[in-house]
Amino acid sequence: MKLPAIEILDEKDKRLRLISKDVTFPLTNEDKKNIKDMLEYLKMSQMDEYREKYNLRAGMGLSYVQIGIPKRIFVVVDEVNENEFENYVLINPKIVSNSEELIYVGEGEGCLSINREVEGIVPRYARITVEAYDIEGNPFTIRVREDLSIAFQHEIDHLNGILFIDRIDPKNPYKNANTMREI
């Protein structure tokens, strides 16, 4: 497989702070190609062989704004078994409900746009329900939990110009950890 030629913006790029605009249908061929490339890139980043070959950092999700296009689209690639993946494409996503329970990633959240270690925890809902559209413009509702819930919230934040580092308390990076469940 050949690595798709996508360029992921670094946290210093001000475009990451843009609030993405709703998408209209039908999608352009360019949008469809970008979505395909983003999914392929993420899949390859999670496979040892390609991660080493192309010197990639493993990633689970990418939002359109991370490739410099402020449209409300994100993709998530979830490795369900070794080298077996489930792809999610969400267009114009909206969180319509969430659990009260909060969770956080024990080793800390990461982001393909932030190329450094970041200390602290990011409070996220354990379960969320999201309404969105697929590539063809069909509406759907999806309920996700645990890792997928975190990934979806992380990517929706990107669409709103928010980076995960914004959600870490700078004075107390592990604030309220005892009130949340680590995953």
Q: What is the pTM of this model?
A: 0.96
Nearest in space to 73 (alpha carbons), one of 143, 11, 135: 135
CATH of segment(s) 14-182: 3.90.45.10
| Cα 90 from Cα 140, distance rounded (Å) | 9
Among the listed residues 97, 96, 89, 87, the one whose alpha carbon sits nearest the alpha carbon of residue 72:
89
For the chain, give every domain's residue range. 14-182
Residue among 80, 59, 86, 78 at smallest CA distance from 4 = 59
pLDDT tens profile 66-90: 999 999 999 999 999 988 999 999 9
Per residue in 14-58, pLDDT (tens digit) is 999 999 999 999 999 999 999 999 999 999 999 999 999 999 999
Residue 120: left (phi > 0), alpha (psi -120 to 50), or beta? left
Q: Among residues 30, 49, 101, 155, which one is catalytic?
A: 155
Question: 49 an active-site residue?
Answer: no
CA-CA distance, 105 to 182, in Å (whole number)? Answer: 6
